[in-house]
Structure 1
Amino acid sequence: MKNKIAVFGCGWLGLPLATTLQKQGYKINGSTTTKDKLTLLEQQSINSFLVDLNDNDFTTQLDAFLSNVDVLIINIPPRMKTGDTSSYLTKMKLVHKHSKLANVKKVIFVSSTSVYGDLNGEITEKTTPKPLTSAAKQLVAIEQLFLNDTGLKTAIIRFGGLIGNGRHPIFHLAKKDEVNNGNYPINLIDITDCISIIGLIIEKNYWNEIFNAVYPYYPSKEEYYTQIANTKGLKPPVFTHNKSNSGKKVISYNLISVKFYNFVTSV
């Protein structure tokens, strides 16, 4: 019998991830912060739970969600309604504590290439993160929280910019008059590969590792987004260049060169 997997956060990525894993034979617990979505999850044969980090009693909801779970996939972005810049980390410490109490053995934490900040040049998993924003600093702290727990098997996935299923940065950029750092390379990944990579980690037991996850295609932002804007019938923004910095190129070294993963969908 396949493991029971808890997908913590069934939004843009989490819902199709949960349905894909469910079709592969896994029993799935899925969480949402809205009551309306509970029925949608149940229609997909997913055990639905209302778990909102902003609720004062969210750990009670969390305990039910984590009951008899083998693998926990944390797919909650560092955005909190309270405005407290440290609240996300505080809540994730409680998630870690209660996952231990529930005897969860394996955790996949969905992180971001934002942890590398404004580093320049080629970036691999061996590159030391240099987060600049509060959100990125909290992501690094949470990565270490789970990785340093020898009682857990943990995988960290640092996704690049997420596209697919109706989502693309060009829709936001096209509304701007000017976009900075047009000479920087893109670091993007399609949702199809996001789901495939998470499934691969579970299937192959790739634990206690960090994975950069970016499609290996790095044209400049100006070149790429101008082309995409023209394809979609949008007005391309004007791009400025950073003369002192060439930007970061995030290499999915562990996935491509070590695990020999073949990306499914181009960007």
Structure 2
Amino acid sequence: MAEKVLIIGCGWLGQQLAPVLAAAGYQVFGSRRTQAAAETLPAPIQGIALDFQSPWSAAQLALFQDAWLICTIPPGARQGGVSDYPQVLQQLAQLAQAAGIKGGIHISSTGIYQGLSGVVNERSELQLTQPRVALLAAGEQALQQQDNWLTLRLSGLMGPGRHPGRFVQGRVMSGAMQPVNMVHSADVAAAVLQILSRWPLPHACYNLSSPQRVTKTEFYQAAANSLGQVADSIDLSGPATEPARQVSSSAFCQDSGFAFRFADARAALAYCPD
């Protein structure tokens, strides 16, 4: 019988992961908060409604039992401008523990390194006085209280329908000579498969970001060119608003044997169709 993978909060990234997981032989489920939203999820995803305000049903516990979980719920402000992100992840951790999952991968963000400079890795001391850093850290801690969760911190995402050149059109970008930290959804999917095949890894938290150093100028000029625009159409004249930093993925590559398809983020631009 095929192993189950449940993608919790199955949005854009989850829909990129699902075909790769299905091709590898996994039975893929994807959750949304309402049944109507769950029914819009495309094949091969089997959509399920998962409202974190509801008590867990016997059917939910049975579905989660012996399943792999991939939590792609994004942090964000909800009712009254206060995010319920950590609370939702605490509820997910409780459900996972009650059901007896095989293991879980929590998709977090390298935005957790906001305010830091230089090369940053999983051991870097976080600036928890910054609200977004504190929110991301609280979410990670909510799931890491359980032994069988791994946090995967992703840098800026690109892939089908998410071409970086589209994001910067008409905007003034800052920090022209700072390194850009990006990762393609194909590398994320490959990393998830690597984690599942090598489970458990030695540590509970890893970064995933294309490793070759590329400046914002180099990257976004290449992005403009790949869209058939002139490089000068990207305005990189803004002053730096954040310290320059480069996210290191060395620990993940070393511990899992993972090799990036797109070590240079510019090479991934051709694989970001609209």
User: TM-score w.r.t. structure 2 length?
Assistant: 0.83
Alpha-carbon spacing, 1:86–1:43, altered in 2? closer, same or farther (3 Å) = closer
Alpha-carbon spacing, 1:25–1:249, altered in 2? closer, same or farther (3 Å) = same
Match of 2:246 in 1: 249
Q: Which moved more, 1:154-163 or 1:125-134?
A: 125-134
Alpha-carbon spacing, 1:58–1:232, altered in 2? closer, same or farther (3 Å) = farther
Paired residue type of 2:48: F
Alpha-carbon spacing, 1:65–1:174, altered in 2? closer, same or farther (3 Å) = farther
Q: 1:180, 1:241 within 8 Å by CA — same for their partners in 2?
A: yes
Q: 2:165, 2:227 within 8 Å by CA — same for their partners in 1?
A: no
Give the CA deviation at 1:184: 1.6
Paired residue type of 2:200: Y
Q: SS of the residue aligned with 1:219?
A: coil
Q: Any residues of structure 2 matched to 1:1-267 within 5 Å, and which? A: 1-33=1-33, 35=35, 38-39=38-39, 41=41, 43-44=43-44, 46-52=45-51, 56-57=53-54, 63=60, 66-131=63-128, 133-149=130-146, 152-176=147-171, 178-207=172-201, 208-234=203-229, 235-242=233-240, 247-265=244-262, 266-267=264-265
Q: Percent identity?
A: 25
Q: Which moved more, 1:60-69 or 1:97-106?
A: 60-69
Give the CA deviation at 1:17: 1.2
Q: SS of the residue aligned with 2:12?
A: coil
Paired residue type of 2:212: Y
Unaligned runs of 5+ in 2: 266-274
- Structure-1 separation of matches of 2:174 and 2:98: 46
- Structure-2 separation of matches of 1:89 and 1:37: 22
- Structure-2 separation of matches of 1:30 and 1:130: 33
- Structure-2 separation of matches of 1:114 and 1:17: 21
Give the CA deviation at 1:64: 5.6
Q: 1:6, 1:65 within 8 Å by CA — same for their partners in 2?
A: no
Unaligned runs of 5+ in 1: none
- Structure-2 separation of matches of 1:258 and 1:69: 25
Q: 1:14, 1:75 within 8 Å by CA — same for their partners in 2?
A: yes
Q: 1:182, 1:221 within 8 Å by CA — same for their partners in 2?
A: yes
User: TM-score w.r.t. structure 1 length?
Assistant: 0.85
Alpha-carbon spacing, 1:83–1:198, altered in 2? closer, same or farther (3 Å) = farther
- Structure-2 separation of matches of 1:111 and 1:61: 29
Q: Which moved more, 1:178-187 or 1:251-260?
A: 251-260
Give the CA deviation at 1:120: 0.5
Q: Which moved more, 1:93-102 or 1:15-24?
A: 15-24
- Structure-2 separation of matches of 1:42 and 1:86: 28
Aligned residues: 260
Q: SS of the residue aligned with 1:10?
A: coil
Q: 1:121, 1:249 within 8 Å by CA — same for their partners in 2?
A: yes
- Structure-1 separation of matches of 2:208 and 2:86: 23
Alpha-carbon spacing, 1:73–1:263, altered in 2? closer, same or farther (3 Å) = same
Q: 1:111, 1:139 within 8 Å by CA — same for their partners in 2?
A: yes
RMSD: 2.7
Q: 1:10, 1:30 within 8 Å by CA — same for their partners in 2?
A: yes
Q: 1:125, 1:253 within 8 Å by CA — same for their partners in 2?
A: no
Q: SS of the residue aligned with 1:13?
A: helix
- Structure-2 separation of matches of 1:163 and 1:255: 20
